[in-house]
Amino acid sequence: MKAGIFITGTDTEVGKTVISAGLALCLRDRGVKVGIMKPVATGCYGPEERLVSHDAAFLMEAAEGQFPPLHSPSRFRNPLSPNVAAMIEKKEVNVEKILKSFRELAGHYDYMIVEGIGGIMVPLKKDYYVANLIRDMKLPVVIVSHAGLGAINHTLLTFDAAMIRGLEVKGIIFNRVAVSNYSMVELTNPKVVHDLSGVPILGSLPEIDDLQVEGCRFGKLKEIFQERIQIDKILGESFAKSVLKS
């Protein structure tokens, strides 16, 4: 099993890309050679033969990635579920190509970060979901959630889907959490989720000034991530120790 993590979410637009980039920036700061992937991306732009994903470009910039074709091997123009976008565009989500790209990238790096699309049960093709891809990559999972109303239900559903499919959940990160004037929902939801699931809460991130995914601007993402996220728990004890030794 390659050292790495799969970043999934309770929904789309919960901040998976920001969390993935933040982890990549912090690992690079520790001297880790980190590889990063956005295997499937929809809502891409540009000429058909060279579609570009804003999220994938942001991740590559964070990791100073090489081998661009391997980082995002399955791209679609329509901002839809991948299986629907593929049908409309008369293409396919080529799982074998994705897994081959993952293996090739993993051979060049110490640690892999893979960002999913949408949530864990987003269909990539008939009878094949994001959860299947995680299992085939043999990676543990971090779940990204919002902390507001509905977070308990969404997070526990995602955790339950992961457990049913035999996936290892490293923990949960809450994104876009207020830094002051917390609502009662934001104060209580993380503890409730932890108490009901038993999964570690790895930290929370606020909105970050000057961070722009489309403009590849990170603002103070690295500094805030280092302060507020339990990075060693994501890495695992053995890998974290090896990083500290080096």
pLDDT tens digit sequence for 5-42: 999 999 999 999 999 999 999 999 999 999 999 999 99
| pLDDT attached to residue 119 | 96
| Alpha-carbon span 122 to 110, nearest angstrom | 28
> What per-residue confidence (pLDDT) applies to 29?
95
Instruction: From residue 130, give the alpha-carbon distance in Å to each of 7, 29, 89, 214, 228.
Output: 11, 30, 20, 24, 28
Q: Which of 16, 38, 170, 222 is catalytic?
A: 38
Three-state secondary structure string covering the chain: CCCEEEEEECCCCCCHHHHHHHHHHHHHHCCCCEEEECCEECCCECCHHHCECHHHHHHHHHHCCCCHHHHCCEECCCCCCHHHHHHHCCCCCCHHHHHHHHHHHHCCCCEEEEEEEEECCCEEECCEEHHHHHHHHCCCEEEEEECCCCHHHHHHHHHHHHHHCCCCEEEEEEECCCCCCCCHHHHHHHHHHHHHHCCCEEEEECCCCCEECCCCEECCHHHHHHHHECHHHHHCHHHHHHHHHC
> Which residue is associated with the tokens 């790495």?
4
pLDDT of residue 239: 85
Contact 76, 44 (CB under 8 A): yes
Contacts of 219 (CB under 8 A, 6+ apart): 208, 209, 210, 211, 212
Q: Measured between alpha carbons, how far is 134 from 129 in angstroms, rounded to an integer?
A: 9
Does the active-site annotation cover 125?
no
Q: Would you state the pLDDT for residue 246? A: 60
Give pLDDT < 70 ranges for the chain.
Answer: 1, 244-246
Domains annotated for the chain, with CATH where assigned, are 7-241 (3.40.50.300)
